[in-house]
Chains A and B, each alone.
Chain A
Amino acid sequence: MHGRLKVKTSEEQAEAKRIEREQKLKLYQSATQAVFQKRQAGELDESVLDLTSQILGANPDFATLWNCRREVLQQLETQKSPEEFAALVKAELGFLETCLRVNPKSYGTWHHRCWLLSRLPEPNWARELELCARFLEVDERNFHCWDYRRFVAAQAAVPPAEELAFTDSLITRNFSNYSSWHYRSCLLPQLHPPPDSGPQGRLPEDVLLKELELVQNAFFTDPNDQSAWFYHRWLLGRAEPQDALRCLHVSRDEACVTVSFSRPLLVGAGSETLLLIVDASPQAVEWRTPDGRNRPSLVWLCDLPTISLDDQLSQHAFRVILTTSDAQKECVLLKGCKEAWSRDSATDEQLFRCELSVEKSTVLQSELESCKELQELEPENKWCLLTIILLMRALDPLLYEKETLQYFQTLKAVDPMRATYLDDLRSKFLLENSVLKMEYADVRVLHLAHKDLTALCHLEQLLLVTHLDLSHNRLRSLPPALAALRCLEVLQANDNAIESLDGVTNLPRLQELSVCNNRLQQPAALQPLASCPRLALLIVQGNPLCQAAGISEHLAELLPSVSSILT
């Protein structure tokens, strides 16, 4: 037909492509070989730069070749005049830019640029910032470039305010940008360093309110965007608690001192040193964890030297010092007393508000209100529901307990994928509430029955509890951390789904254990109980293991010190 173009068929095209690719591959392989040969021969000259640039220009992710280039550059630096080397560096910077255009997310290329810039006597940081701005213009979420920008800003000592303005501009363009939000969370504490007395890592209230407004804009615009919610959580969260001794307990009968910490510590040679002073004289003691494994733990204990428990004296003063942070606790054991303790109150210290900060409650209250507004519009938004729960806990966990549980129910329904996580979180919150109630009541008895618990946490807070009721929950095990309950005398855990009793070990005062209607399969599961010296009553009715023939005899053999075992 007239005027029609004759065009190659697809087979011809494919063939032409194949030949072209074959040739490219040959070139690539021969260049690679040449580089490796030269490197082996120690010929680190400019020809290696040429060869590697051919390869890296097409494939900037060849890390070995970047190493090779660094070797060459280091070599040439010693050989060339400063002017010649400067020209070389300039060419290198240009080359890096072309590589970045090939792959803006190449680890090797960005790293090489860092390396090069940090070696230059007078690097042009302004140009580097501009480069970052340009690459972020193309892809505002290129975290490689964000990383490099943080490096440049740190090297060039760019004022945090300028960098903050830069994050502003990128968030304005697209707020679904973790990197940008994260950078803010680094810059803001720099811009507003906390006053010496105040809590660490917190922002002044006016700044905080401005940030909250910004992030609210984001999650009202798109409540399903996670980045904003995470930033929100950071804003309301609080800094790491300082190392502290939460509780010190001295028991005369067991001749034992137990301490609990604010975070898991490894006490012993080469790490934290824990000093025990009895009546003003330091004692040489061996610290261990309740389970005896001596891994980082919240609870550590030691045996008291017998001399320190001389009953003739009217009292003994105990003091434990954590030498690295100067945290300490002391208590006095009076004559005739079996035990003594000193502890932080969960109510005073708001131990359980680690999720959210102890901001002025007005701020939290207004955040709660706007989240509730959003929740009304978006009843099924999981981020909003979770934030409401956290805010309520930060404000007043007991007051909002009922509401919180309702929100948990909704949240579980809209986010079934995380049902188990939510169950555990809910268990944690309920346990915290129960601890608070127990303290208000000033008793050492903790009732956790019928709470639908799936996990046990904060067990280190229960150091002093004597009676614990865990019946009618959904527990599958009694975890090793239970060994922290040094004062526990009676433990009820009926009607759960418990398969193992690993946590019921070395409980010096445990007398009575009831685990009816659980899923204990084998008599061997009761083995850990043998380590509880005072256990006298064990009730295991309604477990599969009771079906076995001769179980009573078997158990009597296994636990000879237990006087009565009900099967």
Chain B
Amino acid sequence: MADSLPTEFDVIIIGTGLPESILAAACSRSGQRVLHVDSKSYYGGNWASFNFSGLLSWLKEYQQNNDTGEENSAAWQDMIHNTEEAIPLQRKDETIQHIEVFCYASENMDENTEEVNSFQENLSSASNTLPEPLDSTCLSKAAHSSNLSSYEMPDKDDSKSKGETSAELTDAEETLEKEKNCGDKTCIETVSDEDKDENKPLVEDNTDLPKKSRIAYSQIVKEGRRFNIDLISKLLYSQGLLIDLLIKSNVSRYAEFKNVTRILSFREGKIEQVPCSRADVFNSKELTMIEKRMLMKFLTFCLDYEQHPDEYQAFVQSSFSEYLKTKKLTPNLQHYILHSISMTSESSCTTLDGLKATKKFLQCLGRFGNTPFLFPLYGQGEIPQCFCRMCAVFGGIYCLRHKIQCLVIDKESRRCNAVIDHLGQRISAKYFIVEDSYLSEETCSNIHYKHISRAVLITDQSVLKIDSDQQISILTVPPVEPATCAVRVTELCSSSMTCMKDTYLVHLTCSSSKTAKEDLEPVVKMLFTPYTEADTDEGELKKPRILWALYFNMRDSSGVSRTSYKGLPSNVYVCSGPDCALGNDHAVKQAETLFQEIFPGEEFCPPPPNPEDIIFDCEDKQPESSITNVNEPSEESQTLENPEEHLEN
């Protein structure tokens, strides 16, 4: 399909992570011709979400990292003119390391084959019809992208988008193949052989004990489409930059959100629900009357702490936890505020940081519900796609699985003119936006990256069971030892459309000091127990059991300054991968800053005009077709439309 790509654009964006996607939408919205490419077969880069089989193939890809190998570097060398030089881009993604997978659930071979069949059924249905919105598998993404391509070029022939669809379908079939293999091997990838040995006996034992309450690995695979597993675990602050941007730009119509329902804390080995809103405090059975007052009083003070400098001025130098000790708060209240509300467990956190964080948390309360956070249904990976969709609606062109070999630099002007893609096509543009992971080792040789430790668990019950099992919870586990970091735990229920019924998807995140497993396993062990046959007395079982676990480290390029990259021309802009923070502010800020730098004075993602205010011009069909898409009533767009309304009532 690439030979039919236009060869000239205003902006070429490489990578479909959140900041790149926001930039793509912003550029396209302001009238720029945008080409947005990703070398992967999916949207989002490290911001993506996968269904279970998608995640398995993603894992596989990283384990077979070398097969990209040396390609036709000679082919593009020829296309560089004498007056030019090339900056080659990175061929393989090196942002993910130390992948370790553990399967504790039993395996049932018979069901596994059944699964393959059902998967094929899905496949054929997907090729015939558009996927229903519920269905955000790898497949649906493929179809999704073909949708987009038909938005982009309505005047061009259908065969192209068909071609793309079929290409994606073959990809899905490949995934299937992998799936089969993996079933044959009886155990999915594990890094060390010891792990494999550890798991194997369990696997065999479990096969002949089918209990109704038990969940077998095969079931997870079979219901794999129900999973949407985020690579990076984040939430949206109700008053955060991302929500504001989604609402302002009308991108919110492409997504649905659910409120995080519980803020949890881990204190003295026990998990408790943290009362944070006014209604929570009122209803709390755990707090005494006096504590209720103390807590409300402190929180009310935090809301406008700047107005009362005398209350904290003396403690500006000390840490927030020291400051809290002086505020007549009982130890459990101090714990709630420090770890669960301000989420500033680190001893380095100052009084001002803590007050600021608490204020932000409180300001977000009540906008959409009783907690400050929203979670996008079907996973965080939806968000970059929503912005891509907006970009496509305004004419942006999308190509997945499209590698860019190099940037072409004009020697004299020291500006980048063009890129050369994997098919050897030279595509020129004025501005280039590149995601950090695409830059070569040479370009990044000066940079020392931070890392994020991640764990993904599939468990059989919630860490804190209450009458309703459909809870989305966030829990901060304070540092186990003083030197380590706090671990952020997000537990998602099946109604968040990220895991199958009767399971929970648990994300653990902290900034790395060692490998992910070394960083996170102590916390996992504290909160969970492996899913083994040993626990016969289910009645006494307290901890949720792990069915499946994944650990990996992700590179955090968020702190890298532009000047650290070597030899990049001024019209090449760099977006970073996901950062470790809970919110998405960094990505939004970065996108806005870069947009302002590239197009000073242009409005950043203004709301699309009212359909009735658009003047239709017979000559120009392209915007018209876009408009129909803008108009298109989207069934997914209810949640964010008018948040202020709730507040007014």
Contact = CB atoms under 8 A, between A and B. Distances in A.
A218 interface: yes
Contacts of B296: 220-222
Given A220-B293, A373-B289, A4 B282 contact: no
Interface stretch (A107-115, A169-177, A353-361): A169-177
A7 B33 contact: no
Contacts of B282: 172, 175, 217-218, 221-222
B616 to A, nearest CB: 8
A8 B615 contact: yes
B28 A221 contact: no
A5 B31 CA distance: 8
Given A217-B282, A370-B289, A373-B289, A3 B33 contact: yes
B623 A5 contact: yes
Nearest to A4: B31
Given A5-B614, A138-B649, A172 B283 contact: yes
Interface in A272-314: none
Contact of B614 (A6, A216, A218): A6
A173 B279 contact: yes
B28 A3 contact: yes
Contact of A222 (B32, B278, B609, B613): B278
A374 B293 contact: yes
A223 interface: yes
A377 B278 CA distance: 18
Contact of B615 (A3, A7, A141, A218): A7
A253 interface: no
A175 B279 contact: yes
Contact of B31 (A2, A138, A221): A2
B623 A3 contact: yes
A330 to B, nearest CB: 51
Nearest to B608: A5
Interface string B578-610: 000000000000000000000000000000110
B395 A3 contact: yes
Nearest to A104: B649
A378 interface: yes
B278 A3 contact: no
Interface in A210-239: 216-218, 220-223
Given A172-B279, A221-B292, A2 B33 contact: yes
Given A3-B28, A172-B279, A378 B609 contact: no
B314 interface: no
A139 interface: yes
Contacts of B613: 7-8, 13
Contact of A3 (B279, B292, B394): B394
Given A220-B290, A221-B278, A221-B282, A377 B31 contact: no
Interface string B263-281: 0000000000000001101
Contacts of A374: 289, 293
Contacts of A377: 290, 293-294, 297
B197 interface: no
A374 B278 CA distance: 17
B617 interface: yes
Interface string A189-225: 0000000000000000000000000001110111100
Interface in A345-387: 370, 373-374, 377-378
B622 interface: yes
Chain A interface size range: 20 to 34
Contacts of A175: 279, 282
A441 interface: no
A45 to B, nearest CB: 38
A1 interface: yes
Interface string A1-44: 11111111000010010000000000000000000000000000
Contacts of B612: 16
Contacts of B281: 221
A7 B623 CA distance: 12
Contacts of A173: 279
A139 B647 CA distance: 10
A4 B626 CA distance: 11
A224 B37 CA distance: 56
Interface string A144-177: 0000000000000000000000000000111100
Nearest to A8: B613
A387 to B, nearest CB: 14
Contact of B289 (A6, A217, A378): A217
A13 B623 CA distance: 20
Nearest to B645: A138
Nearest to A213: B289
A222 B281 CA distance: 10
A216 B279 CA distance: 14
A2 B282 CA distance: 57
A378 B300 CA distance: 13
B281 to A, nearest CB: 5
B294 to A, nearest CB: 7
B393 to A, nearest CB: 11
Among B278, B290, B293, B627, the most chain A Cβ lie within 10 Å of the Cβ of B293
A275 B293 CA distance: 57
Interface string B294-329: 101100000000000000000000000000000000
Contacts of A172: 279, 282-283
A151 B33 CA distance: 63
B292 A174 contact: no
A16 B28 CA distance: 29
Contacts of A221: 278, 281-282, 292-293, 296
Nearest to B613: A8
B195 to A, nearest CB: 47
Interface string B10-43: 0000000000000000001001110000000000
Nearest to A171: B282
B459 to A, nearest CB: 29
Nearest to B292: A220
A61 B617 CA distance: 43
Nearest to A6: B615
Nearest to B297: A377
A138 to B, nearest CB: 7
Interface in B371-408: 394-395
Contacts of A139: 649
A23 B292 CA distance: 57
Given A172-B279, A216-B289, A217-B292, A5 B609 contact: yes
Interface in A109-140: 138-139
Contacts of A217: 282-283, 289, 292
Contacts of A16: 612
Contacts of A13: 613
A220 B289 CA distance: 6
Nearest to A223: B293
A175 B292 CA distance: 14
A246 to B, nearest CB: 40
B292 A1 contact: no
Interface in B599-644: 608-609, 612-615, 617, 622-623, 627
A1 B609 CA distance: 16
A5 B33 CA distance: 14
Contacts of B283: 172, 217
B327 to A, nearest CB: 12
Nearest to B288: A220
A95 B617 CA distance: 41
A4 B608 CA distance: 11
A378 B289 CA distance: 13
Closest 7 CB pairs of A and B: A6-B615, A4-B31, A220-B289, A8-B613, A221-B282, A7-B609, A220-B292
7 contacts: A3-B622, A4-B623, A5-B614, A5-B623, A7-B615, A216-B289, A373-B289
Interface of A: 1-8, 13, 16, 138-139, 141, 172-175, 216-218, 220-223, 370, 373-374, 377-378
Given A2-B31, A138-B649, A220-B292, 6 more contacts: A5-B623, A7-B609, A175-B282, A221-B281, A222-B282, A223-B293
